[in-house]
Amino acid sequence: MNTAIPQKNLEEMLDRAVREVTKQAAGVCLFQGGGELSEDLCSVHISFNRGFHTSLTLCADTALLTRMAQNALEEETPTTQDLEDFCKEYFNILCGKIAAILFRYTKIPARFSVPEFYRGRYTPEEHQMQFVLTYADGNQQSAHLTHYVPQGGENNGSAAK
């Protein structure tokens, strides 16, 4: 998809989706240009396996994800399993919105894997980072959405040029 979506447009699409879904699903407003991530992190990852050959990883401060889960689940103290389940569902919703936006722009249907949850920072093997969108909330907690493309070439079906 290198020729389908210029990187700037893709970044704008992903940014809009992240902000909208995060506000709607978790009641948290994110602002671009966040600071550094803390040492206590969680990551959620998907791979687009039909239509596009890219992947996305959201790596965020555990405190931010916990607050998002608290808001969405309306629970004061979500369990570790609640946090994982929330993160997977949140990312599934986010990636569904992204797939819909990509389809409207390219007319290429996209399918993505089931979200995978990790404690700490996750980087997919055999992929290289193309760009990172950074976010912060009002509590100085941060999140990074990283767009990865397969290693080894420009015309490999990635999502941007």
Q: What is the mean pLDDT of residues 45-66?
A: 93
Under a CB-based contact definition with an 8 Å cutoff, are residues 73 and 86 in contact? yes
**Model confidence at 156: pLDDT above 80:** no
pTM as predicted: 0.90
> Binning pLDDT at 50, 70 and 90, where does residue 160 land?
very low
Q: What is the mean pLDDT of residues 139-152?
A: 92
9-42 pLDDT, tens digit per residue, is 999 999 999 999 999 999 999 999 877 899 999 9
Look at residue 140 in the predicted model and tell me its pLDDT. 87
**Model confidence at 75: pLDDT above 60:** yes
77-103 pLDDT, tens digit per residue, is 999 999 999 999 999 999 999 999 999
Report the Cα 36 to chain-centroid distance in Å.
17
**Model confidence at 53: pLDDT above 90:** no
Q: Is 87 left (phi over 0), alpha (psi -120 to 50) or beta?
A: alpha
Which of 64, 48, 34, 63 shows the shortest CA–CA distance to 130?
48
Domains and CATH numbers, the chain: 7-150 (3.40.1550.10)
* CB within 8 Å of 160: residues ≥ 6 apart: 1, 2, 5, 6, 7, 9, 10, 11, 130, 131, 147
* CB within 8 Å of 121: residues ≥ 6 apart: 37, 41, 43, 59
- Locate 10 and state its tokens: 């893709």
